[in-house]
Amino acid sequence: MPDQPTDARETRPGQEHFVAPPDEVEVLATDRLDETTAPTSVWRDAWRQLRRNPIFVIAAVLILLVLLVVVWPGLFTDQDPRYCSGDFSMEPPGGGHPFGFDKQGCDIFARTVYGARASVVTGVGATVLFVLIGGVLGSLAGYYGGLFDSVVSRIAEIFFALPLMLAAIVIMQLLESRTVFTVMLILASFTWPQAARIARGAVIQAKNSEYVTAAKALGVSRFRILLRHVLPNAAGPLIVITTIWLGVFIVTEATLSYLGVGLSRTIVSWGSDIAAGQKEIRTSAILFYPATALALTVLSFIMLGDAVRDALDPKARKR
């Protein structure tokens, strides 16, 4: 066997290493670190991408218009949506009445404008309860696990087995007074497991990250880690599903009102106007106006949800 080199610095022929002096090495521009640009967060990158997405821009414009109608309906019409006169029954469009009158002599345009308030407020309120109940329970269950996670998961499975529309119809028929808050509470009561499942999965994924391990090593309390590190990084999927379910809640409220088990008939809403307009569908386009307003509103929220999902989850665009 050949003798082994006795010195670790000895090299075999052809294996010599040559190191150039530092002053003779040219540092290229690509090798330099640009320290002038501030680091960006996930939310800032998402916002930059959303501004360049035409779908988001169109959805945002439609939603802003709907919110303007909800908050200040008087900017669009000076007619009272509850004032009806038989003298104007089925009158065609005229001055100050662009959509004409229905069979009861009510101004269709005024009812379409004011009907947005009940439908959108119900959807927004149900979405807030949806996030508060499901998001909080799902986050705590995913972060702490154990018995609490098991109890929340089993309760959620029970509600998963109950169809939303069927349960809402049965319960609404049992109530004498059907207000906006009543509909919001019922819609959120049977849909919170959806938010809980999404929040639980996102929190479980976030709590196993390296920054959470580093925070634990620094002695940060578990609850503080949940608030400052886990929840901000797990909020993306919950925001996406919230925007989508907002449109679903608006449709559900309109469907319940259309079936006569939603909001009281004294409350102007798109669903009740669609139900009233279906009787004249063969002779008039009364149904077209509230149905179009409902469709555009729901479509804008669904488009918003798709754009936010693509911005917060770049992998979804590639699949």
Residue 260, Cα to own-chain centre: how many angstroms? Answer: 27
- Torsion, Cα 149 153 155 160, to 10 degrees, reads 160
Q: Scan for tokens 């009787």, then name that residue.
A: 279
Span between the terminal Cα atoms of the chain, in Å? 59
Can you give the pLDDT at residue 34? 55
Can you give the pLDDT at residue 314? 55
Can you give the pLDDT at residue 316? 52
DSSP lists the bridge partners of residue 107 as 101
Can you give the pLDDT at residue 1? 47
Closest CA to 77 of 115, 45, 46: 115
* Cβ-contact 41, 312 below 8 angstroms: no
Pairwise CA distance, residues 260 & 127, whole Å:
22
- For residue 237, give Cα distances in angstroms to 11, 42, 269, 313, 319: 57, 13, 31, 9, 17
Q: What are phi and psi of 94, to 5 degrees?
A: -150, -165
- For residue 316, give Cα distances in angstroms to 237, 246, 309, 310: 12, 21, 8, 6
Question: pLDDT tens per residue, the chain (319 residues)?
Answer: 455 544 545 656 666 666 666 666 565 555 455 555 555 666 777 788 888 888 989 999 999 999 999 999 888 888 888 888 777 777 788 777 888 888 888 888 889 999 888 889 999 999 999 999 999 999 999 988 889 999 999 999 998 888 888 888 989 888 877 888 999 999 999 999 999 999 999 899 888 888 888 888 888 888 888 888 888 888 888 888 888 898 889 999 888 888 888 888 788 888 888 888 887 777 777 888 889 999 999 999 888 888 888 887 655 544 4
Pairwise CA distance, residues 283 & 98, whole Å:
18
